[in-house]
Amino acid sequence: MTKIIYPGSFDPLTFGHIDIIERSLRLFENVVVAIITNPSKQPLFTVEERRDMLEEIARKRFPKVEVDVFHGLLVDYAKRKHAQAIVRGIRAVADYEYEFQMALMNRRLAPQIETVFMMPAEHYSYLSSRLVKEIAELGGSVRGLVPDNVEKRLRKRLRASS
């Protein structure tokens, strides 16, 4: 049984992430979505909030997916979970350099763990959590970019901070 880790900040989850989860499930028996607890960037949502949002979606749409959190090195986490691979979404050429560097560094740290890249649907190729936050903060609509539960939380969070 191949187990694959889909790691990320998920701050917040978007339809682009969901697209990658769906594609991973077509190829791998066990998919673990792993939220990093200590990203270098200051997240908008706490790790508990990010986990809640992902679990709400997983319960409804992907009951077989495990949602987890991790800290420290990704390859150490993957080893602890007995995963064989890591999946990352690549949207555009701009993502490639960073992802390539990270994949090769992870390979150096743990040669037995493969990185698999997947492309989301074209209509999500310009979608990112960063832009979603920026649009929401500036009062724009994020409908169709994030699931309803995420949209609601974004509205609540931004109301609270304004």
Interface with ligand PNS (CB under 6 A): 7-9, 36, 39, 73-74, 102, 105-106
Q: Which is nearer to ligand PNS, 9 or 24 (CB)?
A: 9
User: Smallest gap, in angstroms, from Cβ of residue 64 to ligand PNS?
Assistant: 22
- How does 118-149 read in b/e, with b if 16+ C-beta sit within 10 Å? bebeeebeebebeebbeebeeeeebeebbbeb
Q: Which of 23, 24, 129, 133 is catalytic?
A: 129
Instruction: Let me know if 152 is a catalytic residue.
Output: no
Which residue's CB comes closest to ligand PNS? 8
Which residue among 9, 17, 88, 153 is the active-site one?
Answer: 17
Q: At closest approach, how far in Å is the CB of 115 from ligand PNS?
A: 10
Give the span between the Cα atoms of 8 and 89, in whole angstroms.
10
Please indicate whether residue 162 is annotated as part of the active site: no
- Catalytic annotation, pick one of 41, 71, 80, 130: 41
> Which of 39/56 has CB closer to ligand PNS?
39
The set of residues, in sequence order, having a beta carbon less than 8 Å from that of 113 and lying 6+ positions away, is 75, 78, 79, 83, 84, 85, 86, 106, 107
- Shorter beta-carbon distance to ligand PNS: residue 39 or 84: 39
φ/ψ (deg, to 5) at 158: -75, -30
Nearer to ligand PNS, 94 or 160 (CB): 94
Backbone angles phi, psi at 70, to 5 degrees: -145, 160
CB of 97 to ligand PNS, least distance (A): 13
Q: Which distant-in-sequence residues (6+ apart) come within 8 Å of 141 by Cβ?
A: 135
Residue 73, number of CB atoms within 10 A of its CB: 12
Residue 64: active-site member: no
Q: Is 159 a catalytic residue?
A: no
Q: Which residue numbers are catalytic? A: 17, 41, 91, 129
